[in-house]
Amino acid sequence: MLPSRSTDRHTHLRSCAAIALCAVAIAAPLAAQSPSASDTTRRARLIDTVAVIGRADDLAGIASSASEGHVGAADLRLRPITREGELLETVPGLIVTQHSGDGKANQYFVRGFNLDHGTDFNTSLEGMPLNLPTHGHGQGYTDLNFLIPELVDHIDYALGPYHARVGDFGSAGAAELTLRESLDEPFASLTTGAHGLARLAAGASHRLGGGTLLVGGETKRYDGPWQVPEQLRKTSAMARYTWTSGASQTSLLALAYHNRWDATDQIPLRAVREGLISPFGQLDSTDGGATQRYSLSASWRRLGTSSTQRGHLFAAYSDLALFSNFTYFLTDAVNGDQFSQTDHRMIYGGDLSHAQTMNALGAEHLMTIGAATRADVITGLGLYHTRRRERLATVREDDVRELGSGLFAQAESRWGSRVRSVVGLRGDAYSFAVNADRAENSGRRSAAIVSPKASLIVAPTKSTELYLSAGYGFHSNDARGTTIRVDPSTGEPASRVDPLVRSRGAEVGMRATPVAGMRTTATLWLLNLDSELLFTGDAGVTEPSAASARRGATIANFYRVSDALAIDADLSFARARFTGVAPEEDRIPGALERVFAGGVAYGSRTNGLFGSLRVRHFGSYPLAEDGALRARASTLLNGEVGYELRAGTRLQLTVLNVLNGTADDIQYAYSSRLHGETADGVDDVHFHPAEPRQLRIGVSHQFR
């Protein structure tokens, strides 16, 4: 079934939660009073704000930029996905792929960025940050594999560095995921399919004491089409208790996740062309990894008569042991180049914000102030030379303590029925303490940065809003790079990097409802970074490089043709260049230039039929700085069809890669060495293929 978006969007948007909650709280007491003319006007505006919250994803009158959006559970359920992280592909222009086993964090692309595993895109779960700084595998590492898709309620996103609530890693944008607080009925879902897929998920909620207890879980096994089976073994669990006391609501959330897998890393194109392996083969069959994550968090919000307060507290443990071999025998002709990266950490933190309505200068204002802090205690942060997962040598071992805190203030002002403004200021301070196995690389660093942000919104008609947004953002660098003096691999002197890297962005945009049921947003944007993080294939790490400049455009459309039929189409273009370098060396490897995503979804309320068909295309992009070598474009078509019985049983057939197209999830260009090749190795394209066409059958039941 395809519920209407109006019922699916009733939950608050993170970016405008405060104003919506204040509106609800204020409208009720105002309605009970004998209104003056000014009271009537104020009440009408506030009630109208509440009505807008409940209208699909038409955020006119609410959003502070053209690039904000909200995706609810109905849309998420009707997307055939290969991996959990692909839920983020509901963000216009964002692509999620994988270059290794499905237990490893995804590869993310948006607005001309190859974000690697999450750098420059801030991702959080109900106030709990998911990006991991100073990570063993990559800065900002963001693993979403712990998610249980059936228990995700909605996603709020905002592209660009224009939002005062967003701090580290938010230059390209941010997304916050929110999980379900309750279920209408208990459910169980079983999915099976090609390549050893077996997945079982279940969940239920129950009134307990003065609140609601929700529990859910998932177990998944998958081998994939690979000649060396992936042997994915994943388990996720969730427990949540939510209760209301007076004007306050509190929720406790516990999450657990464990996964292990054999990797399917990218392979050299020449090995396939020479017949050494198939496109689904592997050159080092011992690559793989294991990871786990456990967290406990609390969320609280209070609604006052003219204000709202909200806060989060969280503690999480995560670890990763990863074995990779990208260059094979380039460095060590005898034992090979396999290396292991480890990361074990505890994360503690929280945030608190207060929003207050007030009148001044003849306008209505929503004033918001907030503070957040986070501490990462990282032990066993290691890089090792290995052979068949056995350690041969230690390249580097560190213990790191990283503390980041931020303050923000924001004023959203309504200067009339057609003009709004949002002005914000954010300050962040970081401290790093590195205890390295080489004394020369130990040390302490600290840094602070201030980021102003502003938007002006004008509504020329009731169905159209125009936006002008600008702001400063930043990303933090790996703490080890801020204190390093000696390269642990070569013993040569190494240059330190700046702890915090500035970004600057702006956009002009439009949000419109051309016809009933249709929403369109269009943006022209630019974004500059003082230093780029670039993937280095022969080391399997990221490193800072030159400054960069990006320009682009995005058009996103959603049209509900009828209660049963909806169509969406998003098109994004980007131009990404290094700055301060020679023109013939200014291309940014991996920077996507063209992305299209669209689909059609059908869900009948009367006959039980439902289905969807989605296409995802990303065009060719440069693989080297000179632009001469480019990746081939990739297009995938996924579909599903099903029938929901009145008894609550749902039958579903999903086909991934419907056309069985030859496509690549990722492509890199670097040097590697196979047996028999020269000591200098061979420059080549290394790719990870998209999985071939496969059929998945699912049955689920709601216990009514």
Contact (Cβ atoms closer than 8 angstroms) between residue 50 and residue 12: no
4 vs 159, more confident? 159
Q: Band the pLDDT of 354: cuts 50, 70, 90.
A: very high
The torsion region of residue 676 among left (phi > 0), alpha (psi -120 to 50) and beta comes to left
Residues 6+ apart with CB under 8 A from 694: 193, 194, 195, 225, 655, 656, 657
Q: Tell me: the pLDDT tens digits for 166-199?
A: 999 999 999 999 999 999 999 999 999 999 999 9
- Would you state the pLDDT for residue 399? 97
Where do we find the tokens 């947003």?
Answer: 521
pLDDT at 290 over 70: yes
Measured CA to CA, the distance from residue 144 to residue 105 in angstroms comes to 7
Q: Band the pLDDT of 73: cuts 50, 70, 90.
A: confident
Q: What is the average pLDDT across 562-567?
A: 90
Residues 6+ apart with CB under 8 A from 531: 497, 498, 501, 544, 545, 546, 547
Residues 6+ apart with CB under 8 A from 118: 105, 108, 130, 131, 132, 138, 140, 141, 142, 169
pLDDT at 26 over 70: no
From 442, 538, 545, 434, select the one nearest 498 (Cα to Cα): 545
Q: Count CB-CB contacts under 10 A for residue 471.
A: 25
**Can you spell out the DSSP letters for 60-85?**
TTT-SSTTEEEEEHHHHHTS--SSGG
Q: What is the average pLDDT across 236-263?
A: 97
Q: Band the pLDDT of 52: cuts 50, 70, 90.
A: very low
- Structure token digits, residue 342: 């480890």
pLDDT at 400 over 90: yes
- Would you state the pLDDT for residue 18? 36
Q: What are phi and psi of 223, to 5 degrees?
A: -105, -30
- Would you state the pLDDT for residue 42? 35
Measured CA to CA, the distance from residue 671 to residue 39 in angstroms comes to 70
- Would you state the pLDDT for residue 517? 86
Q: Considering the chain, what percentage of its residues have pLDDT values greater than 70?
A: 90
Q: Tell me: the pLDDT tens digits for 477-501?
A: 999 999 999 988 888 888 899 999 9
Q: Tell me: the pLDDT tens digits for 566-594?
A: 999 999 999 999 999 999 999 999 999 99
Contact (Cβ atoms closer than 8 angstroms) between residue 64 and residue 18: no
Measured CA to CA, the distance from residue 216 to residue 412 in angstroms comes to 38
- Would you state the pLDDT for residue 59? 83
The number of residues in the chain equals: 704
- Would you state the pLDDT for residue 583? 92
- Structure token digits, residue 671: 């040097």
Q: Band the pLDDT of 542: cuts 50, 70, 90.
A: low
Q: What is the average pLDDT across 121-143?
A: 95
Q: What is the average pLDDT across 61-88?
A: 89
pLDDT at 11 over 70: no
Contact (Cβ atoms closer than 8 angstroms) between residue 167 and residue 154: no
**Can you spell out the DSSP letters for 126-163?**
TTEE--BSS-SS-TTB---TT--GGGEEEEEEEESS--
pLDDT at 58 over 80: no
Q: What are phi and psi of 23, to 5 degrees?
A: -60, -45
Q: What is the average pLDDT across 55-75?
A: 81
- Would you state the pLDDT for residue 237? 98
Q: Band the pLDDT of 17: cuts 50, 70, 90.
A: very low
- Would you state the pLDDT for residue 57? 56
**Can you spell out the DSSP letters for 461-482?**
ETTEEEEEEEEEEEEEPPHHHH
607 vs 687, more confident? 687
pLDDT at 694 over 50: yes
pLDDT at 311 over 80: yes
209-223, 523-537, 689-703: segment of lowest average pLDDT: 523-537
Beta strand pairing call for 173-179 and 121-125: parallel
Where do we find the tokens 């090609």?
Answer: 194
pLDDT at 350 over 50: yes
Residues 6+ apart with CB under 8 A from 576: 112, 113, 548, 549, 550, 587, 588, 591, 593
Measured CA to CA, the distance from residue 532 to residue 542 in angstroms comes to 10
- Would you state the pLDDT for residue 22? 37
Q: Which residues pair with 470 in a beta bridge?
A: 454, 506
The H-or-E segment that residue 240 falls in is strand 232-245
Q: What are phi and psi of 81, to 5 degrees?
A: -125, 150
- Structure token digits, residue 505: 């962005």
Contact (Cβ atoms closer than 8 angstroms) between residue 150 and residue 184: no
- Would you state the pLDDT for residue 590? 92
CA angle 481, 483, 484 (to 5 degrees): 65
Q: What is the DSSP letter of 4?
A: -
Contact (Cβ atoms closer than 8 angstroms) between residue 429 and residue 405: yes
Measured CA to CA, the distance from residue 363 to residue 354 in angstroms comes to 20
Contact (Cβ atoms closer than 8 angstroms) between residue 652 and residue 607: no
- Would you state the pLDDT for residue 404? 97
pLDDT at 302 over 60: yes
Where do we find the tokens 């062309």?
Answer: 273
Q: Tell me: the pLDDT tens digits for 360-383?
A: 988 999 999 999 999 999 998 999
Contact (Cβ atoms closer than 8 angstroms) between residue 508 and residue 65: no
318 vs 490, more confident? 318
The torsion region of residue 590 among left (phi > 0), alpha (psi -120 to 50) and beta comes to left
The torsion angle over the Cα atoms of residues 478, 484, 487 and 488, rounded to 10 degrees, is -80
Amino acid at 250: T
Spell out a b/e string for 488-506, using b for 16 or more CB atoms within 10 Å of the CB, else e: beeeeebeebbbbbbbbbb
Q: What is the DSSP letter of 585?
A: G
From 559, 609, 577, select the one nearest 57 (Cα to Cα): 559
Q: What is the average pLDDT across 534-549?
A: 65
- Would you state the pLDDT for residue 534? 60
Average pLDDT, the chain: 89
